[in-house]
Amino acid sequence: MPNFDVVVSSMASGFLLGGILALIALGLSISLGVMRLVNLAHGELLVCGAYLSYFLLSHAGIDPLVGLLLVGAIMAVIALPFQRLLIAPLAGKGMEAPMMTMFGVSIILQNLLLLAFSADTRAIEAPYAARPLSIGPITVSEIYVIGFVVSVLLVGCVHLLVTRTAFGRELRASSADATAAAVMGVDVKRVHALTFALGSACAAMGGVLIGTAFSFTPGTGATYLLISFAIVVLGGIGNIFGTLMAGIAMGLLQSLGAVVLGDGYRDLVGLVLFLLALALRPQGIAMSGGR
Amino acid sequence: MLTSQLSHPSHPEPLPSPLELANMSRFCAYLFLPACLLALAVIAPAMSDYALEIGFRLLLLITLAEAWNLLAGYGGLVSLGTASFVGIGAYALTGLVNQADVPFFLAIPAAGLAAALLALTVSRAVFRLRGLYFTVGTLALAEALRMFMVNYSGFGGASGLFLSVDPPGLLELFWTALAIFAVTSLAMTVATSSRFSILLRAVRDDEDAAAQIGVRPFRIKLIAFLVASFLMGMAGALQGLKVGAVEPYGMFGIQWTVNVLSIVIIGGQGLRAGPIVGALFVVLLSELLADYPALHLAITGVILIVVIRFAPKGLVGLFQRRPRAAGGVQ
C-alpha cells in the first residue's frame, strides 16, 4: 500500500476530477432527459473541444481557460445545424434510429480527427497543467482545482438556466411531456435543437479541461462517453445535483481503483461500476414518461 | 376516386403470394443454401488464395452479422458488444489449445460456450432495463473487457498471446468457416421459423403485452443472447486461429462491433438475406478502400447514417418494398 500522503492526494484529485466528469455527464444527461437521445457521439464532441482548445492555444495563443466559453460557444453553433440535419428528421421514429445515427457520427468524427491530426497523443500545454498545489499533506495539480471550480460553476449556471429562465421552463416542459408542451405553444423543435447545442457545449468545455489535465487522442472519447453514462445512471437522468454528486463519487472511486489496483485500472473501475449500477440499482435509471 | 383506382388495378401483376414467398424462402433454407455451401466446399481447393481469403472474411462476417441480426433485427436488442464475444472466443481458443492441447474442432465450440457463459454472466445487468441500456451496457462490457485485457498481465497483457501450435492452412480455415456458417444458418433457420421467433418478435414489439399473455421476456431474450454469443464466440475463435495470435486491441477492438452493425443495418435488419447482402457490400467497400482504413470507417459511418434515414430496412428492404406493396393490393 502506498503511503498516506499519496493516498490522500490521489483521493483529493479524484474528488476534484469528479467535478469535471459531472460537467461532461451533464451534457449527456440533458440530451437524454429532454430529447430521449442517447448521444453516442458525446465522447467525440468532448475530443473535438479538446482539439479546438489545443489549436486555439498553439495558433492564436488563447489560454484554454480564457477560451473555454469560446470553445463551448463554437461547438454549440456547430452542433445546431447538425441536430437539424441528422436528428430532427428522425423524430417519431423511436429511440434507436437517432442513437444509431449518433453512433455513425461518432465513427465519422473519430476517423476524421484521426485523418486530420493522426493518432498522436496530445495535451493542452497550459502553465498550470502540471504545477503542483500543496495544502498540508495533500498535493494536487493546479488544473484539478481550477477544473473543479470551473466545472461546478458551469454546472451551477446550467442549473440556473434550467430552473430560472423562460428557456429552462420550456425545456422542463418538453422533457416532461413533449406533446403537451407543444400544445401549450412551446416550440419543442427549437428546444430540442438548443438542448443538443447545450449538451455539445458541456461536452466540449469538459473536453478542454480533460485535455489540459490529461492527454487525449482521437480515440479518447469512448471512455468518457461510458463514464458519463455511468454517472448519469448513478445520478438519475435530468437530475443536475444528482449528476454532480455521482460525478464526484465516480472520481473518488476511480482514484481508489487506481491506488489499489494500479493506474491502468482507473477507467476500468468506472465501467465495472456502471455495469454493477445497471444490475443493482435500476430504479436510478427508470425512464418515466418516455416515448 | 383516384385512391380506389390505385388500390384496384385492372391488371394485377402475377406476383408470388405470401405463402409462395414463404415456401420459396423455405426452399432456399433447406435445399438451395446447403447446395451452395457444398459446392463451395468442393471447389475450394481450386480457388486462389485471394479468393479463399475474401471468402473466409465474408463467411466470418456473415456469421457474426447473422448472430447480431438475431439479437437486433428479431429481438430488438441492439448490441454494441460484439467485440467482447469475438475477443472471448479468440482468447478461449488460444487458452484451450495452448494449455490443454484441445484439438481445434473441439476448441472452437468450446470457445463459443465460453462466450455464451459470458453472456449468461452479464445478462442480469444488461437486461435489467429495456432497449437502450442493453446497448450502452454491452458497449461498456466490450470496453471494460478490452481495458482489463490490456492491463491484466495474466493473459499476455497488451502484447497478447501466441498460439503454441501452427495454425491450419487457408483451405482448412475456409472449410471451417463454411462449417460454422452452416451451423449459423441452421440455428438462424430454426430460430426464425419456429415458435421461438414469434415469441422473440412479440417481446421485441411490446415486452409488456408479451408478458401479459404469458411470454417470459427475460427467458426469451436470454436464449437469443446466448445463441448469438455462442455463434460470435465461435467466429472469434476462428479468427484467433487464423491470425495465430491474440491481442486485446485487435480481438476486442471496436471495429468488430462497427463492421457487424453496419453490415446488418446496410443489408437490412430482421431480414434473412440482410447479413449476406450487407457483408458483400461492406467487404467490397473495405477492399476498395483497403489502403485507407480511417477513411473507410468514416465512409461507413456516412453510409450508416444515410441508410438509417432513407432505407430503414436496408438494401434488401429497398428491393423487397415493391413486391410487398403490390402483394398487399391483391
Contact: A107, B304; criterion CB under 8 Å = yes
Instruction: Evaluate whether A221 touches A108 at the Cβ level (below 8 Å).
Output: no
In CATH, what is the architecture of A4-281? Orthogonal Bundle (1.10)
Confidence of residue B24 (pLDDT cuts 50, 70, 90): low
Chain A residues within an 8 Å CB radius of B282: none
Answer whether residue B113 shows pLDDT above 90.
Answer: yes
**Structure confidence at residue B49 (pLDDT):** 86
Find the range with the poorest average confidence among A184-188, B10-14, B176-180.
B10-14
Chain B residues within an 8 Å CB radius of A286: 129
Answer whether residue B205 shows pLDDT above 80.
Answer: yes
**Structure confidence at residue B8 (pLDDT):** 45
Contact: B305, A104; criterion CB under 8 Å = yes
SS3 state of residue A135:
strand
CA-based nearest residue in chain A for residue B306: A101
SS3 state of residue A289:
coil
**Structure confidence at residue B184 (pLDDT):** 92
Inter-axis angle of helices A240-261 and A142-164, to 10 degrees?
160
**Structure confidence at residue A248 (pLDDT):** 93
Structure-block grid coordinates of residue B61: 462476417
Nearest to B137 among A115, A267, A278 (CB): A278
Contact: B128, A105; criterion CB under 8 Å = no
A269 touches chain B (CB under 8 A): no
A115 touches chain B (CB under 8 A): yes
Contact: A229, B136; criterion CB under 8 Å = yes
Residues 54-93 of A with CB under 8 A from B: 86, 89-90, 93
Rounded mean pLDDT, B262-276: 90
B-interface mutation test, from A95, A278, A280, A283, most B Cβ less than 10 A away:
A278
Q: Provide the 8-state DSSP code for A245.
A: H
Instruction: Evaluate whether A268 touches B148 at the Cβ level (below 8 Å).
Output: yes
Chain A residues within an 8 Å CB radius of B132: 38, 95-96, 99
Structure-block grid coordinates of residue A104: 455513425
Q: Provide the 8-state DSSP code for B28.
A: I
Contact: A103, B80; criterion CB under 8 Å = yes
Among B179, B213, B176, smallest CA distance to B198 is for B213
If one counts every other C-beta atom within 10 angstroms of the C-beta of residue A120, the result is 8
Shortest distance between the Cα of B268 and any Cα of chain A, in A, equals 14
CA angle B140, B145, B148 (to 5 degrees): 120
Among A138, A123, A95, smallest CA distance to A9 is for A138
Nearest to B144 among A90, A106, A268 (CB): A268
Chain B residues within an 8 Å CB radius of A276: 125
Phi first, then psi: give them for residue A122, nearest 5 degrees.
-125, 160
Q: How far apart are the first and last CA of chain B?
A: 18
What is the interface pTM, i.e. ipTM, of the complex? 0.85
Chain B residues within an 8 Å CB radius of A119: none
**Structure confidence at residue B25 (pLDDT):** 64
Instruction: Evaluate whether A215 touches A123 at the Cβ level (below 8 Å).
Output: yes
Residues whose CB falls within 8 Å of the CB of residue B303, separated by 6 or more in sequence, listed in order: B262, B266, B285
Separation between Cα atoms, residue B277 and residue B17, nearest integer Å: 23
CA-based nearest residue in chain B for residue A96: B132
Separation between Cα atoms, residue A43 and residue A221, nearest integer Å: 4
- Around A44, how many Cα atoms within 13 Å sit in the side-chain half-sphere? 17
CA B284 to each of CA A58, B88, B258: distance values in angstroms, whole numbers, following the listed order: 41, 27, 16
Rounded mean pLDDT, A175-204: 90
A104 touches chain B (CB under 8 A): yes
* Site of grid cell 498553439: A58
Find the range with the poorest average confidence among A94-108, A143-157, B19-33, B120-134.
B19-33
CB pairs under 8 A between A and B: 115
Residues whose CB falls within 8 Å of the CB of residue B28, separated by 6 or more in sequence, listed in order: none
A275 touches chain B (CB under 8 A): yes
Structure-block grid coordinates of residue B188: 438462424
Separation between Cα atoms, residue A279 and residue B284, nearest integer Å: 41
SS3 state of residue B253:
coil
* Site of grid cell 478461449: B92
Chain A residues within an 8 Å CB radius of B80: 103
Separation between Cα atoms, residue B236 and residue B87, nearest integer Å: 6
**Structure confidence at residue B161 (pLDDT):** 85
Among A197, A91, A109, smallest CA distance to B309 is for A91
Nearest to A282 among B129, B141, B309 (CB): B129
Mean pLDDT of chain A: 87
CA A206 to each of CA A94, A202, A250: distance values in angstroms, whole numbers, following the listed order: 29, 6, 15
Nearest to B143 among A89, A271, A286 (CB): A271
Answer whether residue B7 shows pLDDT above 50.
Answer: no
Contact: B143, A230; criterion CB under 8 Å = no
Chain A residues within an 8 Å CB radius of B126: 275, 278
Q: How far apart are the first and last CA of chain A?
A: 50
Structure-block grid coordinates of residue B230: 455462442
Tens of pLDDT, residue by residue over A51-90, are: 999 999 999 988 989 899 999 999 999 999 888 899 888 8
Domain definitions of chain A by residue range: 4-281
Q: Provide the 8-state DSSP code for B15.
A: P
Give the strand pairing for A132-135 and A138-141: antiparallel
Chain A residues within an 8 Å CB radius of B150: 264
**Structure confidence at residue A27 (pLDDT):** 92
Tens of pLDDT, residue by residue over A213-248, are: 888 999 888 889 988 988 888 888 778 888 999 999
CA-based nearest residue in chain A for residue B137: A275
The model's pTM is 0.84
Nearest to A99 among B122, B128, B135 (CB): B135
* Amino acid identity for residue A256 in this structure: L
Contact: B124, A262; criterion CB under 8 Å = no
Contact: B133, A278; criterion CB under 8 Å = yes
CA-based nearest residue in chain A for residue B139: A226
**Structure confidence at residue B214 (pLDDT):** 83
Find the range with the poorest average confidence among A276-285, B116-125, B259-268.
A276-285
Among A20, A49, A34, smallest CA distance to A191 is for A34
A114 touches chain B (CB under 8 A): yes
Contact: B140, A89; criterion CB under 8 Å = no
Q: For chain B, how many helices (H) and strands (E)?
A: 16, 2
pLDDT winner (highest mean) among A61-65, B85-89, B149-153: B85-89
CA A209 to chain CA mean position, Å: 11
A117 touches chain B (CB under 8 A): no
Separation between Cα atoms, residue B278 and residue B262, nearest integer Å: 8
Confidence of residue B236 (pLDDT cuts 50, 70, 90): very high
A-interface mutation test, from B71, B151, B266, most A Cβ less than 10 A away:
B151
CA angle B300, B266, A31 (to 5 degrees): 70
CA-based nearest residue in chain A for residue B131: A96
Domain definitions of chain B by residue range: 29-253
| Greatest CA separation for chain A | 62
